Amino acid sequence: MTKDNIIVAALRLFLLRGYRNVSLMDVANEIGITKGGIYHYFGSKEELFRASIGYLFDYFGKRYTEFLSKEQTFRGTLNLLLSGEQEAYMEGLLNIKPGDYRANNASLALEIMHNFPEIQEQIDQGQLRLRNIIKDKLQAAQETGETRGDLDAKVVATIVLSVSSGLNVLGKNIINPDMHQQVIDSLWQLIGVNDVKE
């Protein structure tokens, strides 16, 4: 059993149950090792939690950087950010069914804010970096005439990031693929130039 296997199993349980409701024994049972096998790599549940959240940030940071660097148009960027792909990747990585972890997201977020301020700082910095990437892509689109030039790119990037987060929170049970597309199309009507094709 590798360290990464332990981290992924722990992350899965933390997302499903929240930090307080997961013990090291739960993680050990999840992957069929002894608690001592976890202590070989991690000194405490807190240390494992920090490693799990760090793993998640690294995973999504790489995914976003990879996807956003390939996308040439802002409309394509918008589709990528609002399509629910990140949720699909998380579900695939952690073998979690759609919506299974959603109920505990708010609880886990509150636990992080109150008990792990350094992790919350990482989250905030990651969101800021993502907003800046979106802003830069929007400014480039404004320069090429793909999007309206009269909009504040930082404000629009913040709106896009907020909509993306909101769609993830609502999940697939509330926001089906058709609704996702309607949200993307509606946002595009506000920021795009009408004669520009995707």
Q: Count Cα neighbours of 122 within 13 Å in the Cβ-side half-sphere.
A: 16
174 lies in a domain?
yes
Contact 136, 117 (CB under 8 A): no
In terms of phi and psi (left: phi > 0; alpha: psi -120 to 50; beta: otherwise), the region of 147 is beta
159 lies in a domain?
yes
> In angstroms, rounded to a whole number, what is the distance separating the alpha carbons of residues 109 and 115?
10
Residues 6+ apart with CB under 8 A from 105: 15, 169
**26 pLDDT tier (thresholds 50, 70, 90):** very high
Q: What is the dihedral of CA 94, 95, 100, 102, to 10 degrees?
A: 30
128 lies in a domain?
yes
Q: What is the CATH number of the domain that holds 129?
A: 1.10.357.10
Task: Report pLDDT for 198.
Answer: 45
| The pLDDT of residue 197 is above 60 | no
149 lies in a domain?
yes
38 lies in a domain?
no
pLDDT digits (tens, 9 = 90+) for 87-104: 666 677 777 765 666 555
Beta bridge partners of residue 87, listed in sequence order: none
Q: Count each helix (H run) and each strand (E run) in the chain, helices first.
A: 10, 0
**47 pLDDT tier (thresholds 50, 70, 90):** very high
Q: What percent of the chain has pLDDT over 90?
A: 45
Number of domains in the chain: 1
pLDDT digits (tens, 9 = 90+) for 98-125: 566 655 566 677 788 888 888 888 888 8
Residues 6+ apart with CB under 8 A from 119: 50, 53, 112
28 lies in a domain?
no
Q: What percent of the chain has pLDDT over 70?
A: 85
Residue span of the structural domain in which 146 resides: 54-191
Which has more confidence, 126 or 45? Answer: 45
> In angstroms, rounded to a whole number, what is the distance separating the alpha carbons of residues 4 and 173?
31
102 lies in a domain?
yes
What is the maximal distance between C-alpha atoms in the chain? 63
39 lies in a domain?
no
**140 pLDDT tier (thresholds 50, 70, 90):** very high
Please report how the helices 74-82 and 117-144 are oriented relative to each other, as an axis angle in degrees rounded to 10.
Answer: 150
SS3 content of the chain, % helix, strand, coil (to 5): 75, 0, 25
| The pLDDT of residue 168 is above 80 | no
| The pLDDT of residue 186 is above 60 | yes
| The pLDDT of residue 12 is above 80 | yes
